[in-house]
Amino acid sequence: MKRILNYTLVIIILLASCREDDDTIDKEIPPASRSPTPYALELPPHFNYINSPIIPVDNSLTLEGVALGKKLFFERMLSRDNSISCASCHAPLEAFNDQGMVKSIGVGGTLSIRNAMPLFNLAWGSVTSRRFNWHGSVTTLEQQALGPVRDPLEMQETWINVASKLQGANDYPRLFKRAFGTNIIDSNLVVKAIAQFERTLISGDSKFDRYFLETQEGINTPGDNSLTSAESRGFDIFMAEGTGDCFHCHGTPFQILWTTNEFVNNGLDANPDSGLAWITKNPLDVGKFKTPSLRNLAFTAPYMHDGRFATLDEVVEFYNSGINVNSPNIDGRQKPRNLTTQQKTDLIAFLNTLNDSSFITNPAFRP
Amino acid sequence: MKNFKYNKILFSALVILILSFSSCKDDDDDTISPVTVTEEYTATINLTQYVDGVVLQMNTAGHPYENALIQQFNVTKLQYLISDVTFTKDDGTKIVDGGYHYVTLEDSSTLQYTLNTKIPEGTYTSIGFTFGFDEEDNVSGAYIDLNTLGWNWPVMLGGGYHFLRLEGDYLDNTNTSAEFKTHMGTASDDSTMPRTNEINHFDVTLPNSKILISSDFSFDIEMNIEEWYTNPIDWDFNVWNAPVMPISAAQKALNSNGSSVFNFKQ
């Protein structure tokens, strides 16, 4: 996949590079209509252990596009009464989540049916399923961003209204012109810009990342990042099929994202919500939800698609003793773990090494 | 974290730049000199799966299959890895394709594997491959596509990658449906301190795989699933259901049973 992506890039650039005299033409065009500047994602070094991010060919990242996307992400005009923005439910300090909210709150206090998802490392989408939202209802970030605006439980606005509000605001037409070469604003360009910004949200600087860089790559990182004995025992429990067995769904150190992004039923309910089957209509997908990343859990409580668990203790106790083994389509890897109290504490200590505080405080992600 | 400067994108940009210079050259230095060449052909492998001679049906209701101990089971997941496909001539020379291929029944595009190496025309006495990765290739973290899939084998169990994930339900000795997860990779023995880890791939020479190659060609590598569970060791689902990754004896049993799992068909 990576190779294919690189080759397409090569081909595109080859084509471009064989044209003549681009420069001379460029000079005659006034600066405002110059083509936007390409934006190179800055990846933490160990992210080269996994496939390159998936960037759609028709929406490559540009400085102007990302900056516009950020502005739109924090833009309250996207909602019916100009009261909320994407960031109202996806706040930077909470790893782009709404910590503490079991179900998200939309315009006028309406309650969503699901717990908001944190937003980071979305550029990797998913290899196995390439789907977004808990039940996998959309396949691209562009498509995803269309949803919240017109969702009757979220921003409750029409795209026609959003476009005309933005068109009338004094700075947006100019910014769209810079990013996309046109000052006619429509939903398609709004979601493209937002998706560009979302793809820059990269989280890879937790304690465990630093520990991995030092031990695996020999790269020095700031501070003492050796694991405590509890964290290290917790890691072993996470990785052991006989005890925690978390890695089969939530990934390994080499997998970096700490999720396989697979849709599975982890056995929360005896009669689960339809989950992925809501989209695929396949009875074998009933109860399957997107496996979330375990990065940044300290900032994203409560947990699971309906926010049913307030703490990591509750989550771990669920895996320990609360699994509904007779849930339809439950994953073969799910059965009660029977951990000791010490093992549970150790496991949580390890999970907390995946919190990335430099991600939540990154000024590049602020309005 | 200011040393996060290394950047794959920049690196590819450099490669692209170099390539683009060379690609704009005029073509007049392409003089053609006549040489005799052996023709080389493309090999496409179809990966197929059977139980007792019948095409595997996944996610069936009930437990339609039986192992050697007459324990009934079904299959809900099958993923595996092959590498180093090798063509051997009667004089012993070998053509080895050093690549690897991951198969998952959830994605039908993985059921076909076209080798990068072109195979010179001629008669080959046999075709073989490595199930999993051999010692040289089974390096933790070395393959980005497999890392992305989370296909790694835990480092504390010797590391490298999974070779096989075969999962389903069986009827246990109380006649209740229970899960099994036959995962294979490095064999790791915890009776010693520290654990001793043993390589666990095996080399397959496909029976009756003599082949005359004179054009692009394809053949099937058939997996006979029931053979994982017998020949020589009868696998008892009641004992080895899950987890089996940390059980060295189970890992080695899969290794010995594995030698009769694969067939050749053209």
Are both A172 and A211 inside the same structural domain? no
Smallest Cα distance from B106 to chain A, Å: 9
B256/B63 Cα distance (integer angstroms): 25
> Among B15, B59, B150, whose Cβ lies nearest the Cβ of A252?
B150
A42 in contact with chain B, both atoms CB, cutoff 8 A: yes
Query: What's the one-letter identity of residue A221?
Result: T
Smallest Cα distance from A239 to chain B, Å: 6
From A359, which residue of chain B is nearest by alpha-carbon distance?
Answer: B1
Q: Which residues of B touch A260 (CB under 8 A)?
A: 149-150
Query: Cβ(A354)–Cβ(A242) under 8 Å?
Result: no
Is A31 a member of any domain?
no
Are both A50 and A182 inside the same structural domain? yes
Is A197 a member of any domain?
yes
Q: pLDDT digits over B71-109, tens only?
A: 999 999 999 999 999 999 988 999 999 999 999 998 999
Identify the pLDDT of residue A130.
Answer: 79
Identify the pLDDT of residue A125.
Answer: 79
Helix (H, G, I), strand (E, B) or coil at A300: coil
B122/B91 Cα distance (integer angstroms): 12
Q: Which residues of B touch A44 (CB under 8 A)?
A: 1, 4
Q: Which residues of A touch B244 (CB under 8 A)?
A: 241
A126/A51 Cα distance (integer angstroms): 10
A223 in contact with chain B, both atoms CB, cutoff 8 A: no
DSSP secondary structure letters along A282-294? -GGGTTBEEPPP-
- Backbone phi, psi, residue B183, to 5°: -105, 135
Give the DSSP H or E segment for A249.
Answer: helix A247-250
What integer is the mean pLDDT of B38-45?
95
Share of chain B above pLDDT 90, in %: 74
Identify the pLDDT of residue A213.
Answer: 95
Identify the pLDDT of residue B225.
Answer: 98
Is A21 a member of any domain?
no
**Would you put residue A127 in left (φ > 0), alpha (ψ -120 to 50) or beta?**
alpha
How many domains does one find in chain A?
A: 2
> Among B20, B147, B154, whose Cβ lies nearest the Cβ of A17?
B20
R_g over Cα of chain A: 22
Q: Which of A173, A202, A231 is the last residue of a domain?
A: A202
Q: Which of A202, A217, A238 is the last residue of a domain?
A: A202
Q: Which residues of B touch A254 (CB under 8 A)?
A: 140-141, 147, 152
Helix (H, G, I), strand (E, B) or coil at A153: coil
Identify the pLDDT of residue A16.
Answer: 38
Are both A283 and A262 inside the same structural domain? yes
For chain A, what is the largest distance between any 2 Cα atoms, rounded to a whole number of angstroms?
Answer: 72
- Kindly determine whether residue A256 and residue B147, on different chains, have CB atoms separated by under 8 Å: yes
Are both A225 and A294 inside the same structural domain? yes
Indicate whether B8 pLDDT > 80. Answer: no
A13 in contact with chain B, both atoms CB, cutoff 8 A: yes
Are both A212 and A194 inside the same structural domain? no
- Kindly determine whether residue A221 and residue B180, on different chains, have CB atoms separated by under 8 Å: no
Strand locations in A17-145 (E): none
What integer is the mean pLDDT of B132-138?
97
Are both A51 and A64 inside the same structural domain? yes
Query: Cβ(A61)–Cβ(A38) under 8 Å?
Result: yes
Smallest Cα distance from B10 to chain A, Å: 7
Query: What's the one-letter identity of residue B4?
Result: F
Identify the pLDDT of residue B32.
Answer: 57
Q: Which of A142, A177, A202 is the last residue of a domain?
A: A202
Smallest Cα distance from A57 to chain B, Å: 15
- Kindly determine whether residue A40 and residue B140, on different chains, have CB atoms separated by under 8 Å: no
Are both A184 and A265 inside the same structural domain? no
> In chain A, which among 124-143 make CB contacts under 8 A with chain B?
124, 127-128
The residues, any chain, with a CB within 8 Å of residue B215's CB and separated by 6 or more, are B41
Identify the pLDDT of residue A67.
Answer: 97
Identify the pLDDT of residue B22.
Answer: 41
Are both A54 and A179 inside the same structural domain? yes
B194/B186 Cα distance (integer angstroms): 15
- Kindly determine whether residue A332 and residue B169, on different chains, have CB atoms separated by under 8 Å: yes
Are both A221 and A351 inside the same structural domain? yes
Smallest Cα distance from B91 to chain A, Å: 36
**Tokens in use for B65?**
């299959």
The residues, any chain, with a CB within 8 Å of residue B228's CB and separated by 6 or more, are B164, B166, B182, B235, B254, B257, B258, B261
Query: Cβ(B257)–Cβ(B231) under 8 Å?
Result: yes
DSSP secondary structure letters along A302-332? SBSTT--BSSHHHHHHIIIII--TTSTTB-T
A345/A132 Cα distance (integer angstroms): 32
A238/A235 Cα distance (integer angstroms): 5
A254 in contact with chain B, both atoms CB, cutoff 8 A: yes
Which contacts (CB < 8 Å, 24+ apart) does range A167-174 have?
Answer: A169/A77, A174/A32
> In chain A, which among 271-300 make CB contacts under 8 A with chain B?
284
Helix axes A172-180, A63-73, angle to 10 degrees: 140
How far from chain centre, in Å, is Cα B13? 33
> End-to-end CA distance of chain A, in Å?
34
> End-to-end CA distance of chain B, in Å?
56
Residue A86 maps to which CATH number?
A: 1.10.760.10
Question: Parallel, antiparallel, or unpaired: how do β-strands B164-171 and B177-184 relate?
Answer: antiparallel
A169 in contact with chain B, both atoms CB, cutoff 8 A: no
Is A330 a member of any domain?
yes
Mean pLDDT by 10 residues, chain A (367 residues): 36 37 40 80 93 91 98 97 94 90 86 90 77 93 95 94 95 97 97 97 97 92 93 96 92 92 92 92 92 96 95 97 90 85 98 97 94
Is A36 a member of any domain?
no
Are both A300 and A161 inside the same structural domain? no
Smallest Cα distance from B219 to chain A, Å: 25
> Among B24, B149, B243, whose Cβ lies nearest the Cβ of A241?
B243
Are both A252 and A283 inside the same structural domain? yes
Helix (H, G, I), strand (E, B) or coil at B102: strand
Which residues are bridge partners to B204 per DSSP?
B129
Is A158 a member of any domain?
yes
Could you tell me the residue range of the domain that residue A56 belongs to?
A: 45-202
Are both A350 and A271 inside the same structural domain? yes
From B10, which residue of chain A is nearest by alpha-carbon distance?
Answer: A40
Report chain B's mean pLDDT, rounded to a whole number: 88
A225 in contact with chain B, both atoms CB, cutoff 8 A: no
Is A29 a member of any domain?
no
- Kindly determine whether residue A332 and residue B180, on different chains, have CB atoms separated by under 8 Å: yes
Confidence band, pLDDT 50/70/90 cuts, at residue B34: low
CB pairs under 8 A between A and B: 129
B159/B138 Cα distance (integer angstroms): 8
- Kindly determine whether residue B246 and residue A51, on different chains, have CB atoms separated by under 8 Å: no
Q: Which residues of A touch B114 (CB under 8 A)?
A: none
**Tokens in use for A156?**
């409750």
Q: pLDDT digits over B188-230, tens only?
A: 987 888 888 999 999 999 999 999 999 999 999 999 999 999 9
Question: Parallel, antiparallel, or unpaired: how do β-strands B43-51 and B54-55 relate?
Answer: antiparallel
Question: Parallel, antiparallel, or unpaired: how do β-strands B187-189 and B211-213 relate?
Answer: unpaired
Smallest Cα distance from B22 to chain A, Å: 10
Is A128 a member of any domain?
yes
